[in-house]
Amino acid sequence: MTLEWKPHRNDGGVELSGYRIEYQEVGSLVWEKVNESTTLLSHTVKNLEYRKEYKFRVFAENIVSLSEPLNGEPVVAKDPFSEFLGLQNFKM
């Protein structure tokens, strides 16, 4: 599943160092960290289970803290060999 988002609008006066991505299987209470940090505005999440529904959230981070999360709508993991691979867009 490839996630894409736009740059965070407010850096709180401190330069952003990157973005942290987390996911949660729908029905679970546990959020799993996908990455430590990325400076890119997209990230491919691998090893998701086919036909399971997931929620994703993205945090902007700087040396002070993390932003409030940007929450995406739940999406179902598609068959990696299908014509359409899921693409989740986020707007900050």
% of the chain at pLDDT higher than 90: 40
Q: How many domains in the chain?
A: 1
pLDDT given at position 82:
62
- How confident is residue 75, by pLDDT bands cut at 50, 70 and 90? very high
CA distances from 76 to 23, 54, 80 (A): 12, 6, 12
Report the residue count for the chain: 92
Residue 17 has pLDDT above 60, yes or no: yes
- Residues with Cβ within 8 Å of residue 33, at least 6 apart in sequence: 20, 21, 22
d(CA 8, CA 70): 10
Identity (one letter) of the amino acid at 88? Q
DSSP character for 38? B
Is the pTM higher than 0.85? The answer reads: no
* CATH code of the domain in which 82 resides: 2.60.40.10
Residue 34 has pLDDT above 80, yes or no: yes
Residue 52 has pLDDT above 60, yes or no: yes
Residue 14 has pLDDT above 90, yes or no: no
Containing domain of residue 31, as a range? 2-90
- State how beta strands 42-44 and 75-76 pair: unpaired
